[in-house]
A and B are shown apart, each in its own frame.
Chain A
Amino acid sequence: MSKDENWIVEIVLENKPAARDPVGTVIQKDLLAKKGYEMVSNVRSGQYLRIYLTANDANDARIIIDKMCNELRIFNPVTQNLTILNVFKT
């Protein structure tokens, strides 16, 4: 049943909105604001992962990644959100 197509899934892990993000805050406050980029009001940092996998289709790829990240605690649901940015074929 598997077509085994090659897919790339890009995901971002970041702290939940209610949780502080000291990294983003320092970049915004101590670098950008001081170097003339006052128009930048907020920066949130995260971790970006590009995952290469085989899947039947885009939806299948999403499901695999979602399950994998939850099962293996790739992110900690207590503090972080996981966003799937992009799913595309190679």
Chain B
Amino acid sequence: MTIKIAVIQFPGSNCDFDAVHVLNNVMNVDAELIWHNNFKEAHFDGCIIPGGFSFGDYLRAGIIAAHSPAIDEARVMLKDGRPIIGICNGFQILTEARFLPGALLRNESLKFICKWVNIKVENNKTAFTNRIEKDSVLSIPIAHAEGRYFTDNLNELEDNDQIVVKYTNKRGEISEESNPNGSLENIAGVCNLEKNCIGLMPHPERASESILSPKGTTHGKLFFESMIEFIKKRGF
């Protein structure tokens, strides 16, 4: 049996092909691109909500996709403990769908930002970070206009260990200069209470091949390796 991962394509998703490419050609698992109306959870061991501008980000980034039937299907996977990752716009969709706590607001600079940043792994007990050492500093790109993480319940997030990654400098120090978008506490990714669903503003699929990386690293791969490991441990 091979591991089957769904990459859900909403109208306006644009990192969908990139995620499929990395899973199929770099991770060597069986990833399938599925139009949001046609997604059936039962066929898959995990699911990726890719980046992009679902429904043009009109009204609010992620809100219209959060009402898609695909999200109802994904909710079954969520309850069932299968791994779900929302990347960039996918993260925005998952917060709007209340899979994940908090919200993503417009960047403090009010501008789209495309650059490579450093993030530090705060929680390595999730479905997507179990193969990464805690406190490791990863090199990974961001590309978003609405990535400023906000929650009115930071204490709960901290108490429940739901902060997965934070923006830092290359030495892993959290500072204002290393916060690209004004996120609360430099938060770059969070998870649900059960730790099987995470949202990331940075793009691991853009950091999984050394040729694409300014420093030749492949840190993005670690998130997908963790996902595969998690699926294998659960049994599929």
Contacts and interface: CB of A to CB of B under 8 A. Distances in A.
- Check whether chain A touches chain B (CB < 8 angstroms): yes
Contacts of B64: 26-27, 30-31
A22 B56 CA distance: 9
A22 B57 CA distance: 11
A22 to B, nearest CB: 6
A34 B70 CA distance: 14
Interface in A1-46: 22-23, 26-27, 30-31, 34-35, 45
B67 A23 contact: no
Contacts of B59: 23, 26-27, 31
B55 interface: yes
B67 A22 contact: no
Contacts of A30: 11, 55, 64
Interface of A: 22-23, 26-27, 30-31, 34-35, 45
Contacts of A31: 55, 59, 63-64, 67
Contacts of A27: 58-59, 64
A41 to B, nearest CB: 18
Contacts of A26: 55-56, 58-59, 64
A69 B87 CA distance: 39
Contacts of B63: 31
Nearest to B63: A31
Given A26-B55, A26-B64, A31-B67, 12 more contacts: A22-B56, A22-B58, A23-B58, A23-B59, A26-B56, A27-B64, A31-B55, A31-B59, A31-B63, A34-B67, A35-B67, A45-B58
A12 to B, nearest CB: 17
5 contacts: A23-B58, A26-B55, A26-B64, A31-B55, A31-B63
Interface string B57-69: 0110001100100
B215 to A, nearest CB: 39
Nearest to A25: B58
Nearest to A26: B58
A4 B25 CA distance: 69
A16 B180 CA distance: 36
Contacts of B56: 22-23, 26
A15 to B, nearest CB: 13
Nearest to A27: B59
Nearest to B12: A26
Interface string B26-64: 000000000000000000000000000001101100011
Nearest to B54: A30
B94 to A, nearest CB: 18
Q: Which of A27, A30, A35 has the most CB of B within 10 A?
A: A30
Contacts of A45: 58
Q: Which of B56, B58, B63 has the most CB of A within 10 A?
A: B58
B13 to A, nearest CB: 14
Contacts of B11: 30
Nearest to B69: A34
